[in-house]
Structure 1
Amino acid sequence: MKPLYTNFEQIETDLRRFDLERKVAWEELKLIKTEFKEDFRPYNWVEPIIKGASKYGVFMLLRKLFTKR
């Protein structure tokens, strides 16, 4: 559906609104890109690996302590 304009002021208002919406969307994309890059930094991967390894190590230690020889 095409909007019906009665004067140039309405057209200019819509154009300004569309320009602002475009700029907001562009800033949101830049923010998402930054968040995505931070999620893939090595530090963000090392911490969960260390936690998982320590849990596995504790499990193995307990298993050795409580298994019959």
Structure 2
Amino acid sequence: MNNYKTEEDIELSLKRLNLERQIALEELKSVKGDFKESIQPANWLQSGIKLFSKYGMLMLVKKLIK
């Protein structure tokens, strides 16, 4: 808990808190945008292709070793 001596101290603290709130809101907007982008079907398809290519390479290496 802060001990304020003047109204200016209170106003300064309120301004700081308001700026911190605005920064937090902008960060949330960024996270929301990143989340929306990550759930796009194109990203899922790309992730699936990467997964299948790694699996395919693993199976190829297993067949070469045998």
Asked if residue 22 in structure 1 is aligned to residue 21 in structure 2, the reply is yes
1:60 Cα deviation (Å)? 6.2
Structure 1: gaps spanning 5 or more residues: none
Structure 2: gaps spanning 5 or more residues: none
Per-residue CA distance 1:4-53 (angstroms, 9 max, x = gap): 11110000000000000000000000100000111111111101222333
Over alpha carbons, which structure has the higher Rg? 1
Per the normalisation by structure 1, the TM-score is 0.72
Structure 1 runs of 4+ with >4 Å offset: 54-64
Per the normalisation by structure 2, the TM-score is 0.75
Q: Provide the aligned C-alpha RMSD in A.
A: 2.4
Q: 2:43 and 2:2 mapped to 1: Cα distance? A: 49
Alignment of 1:9-48 (within 5 A): 9-48=8-47
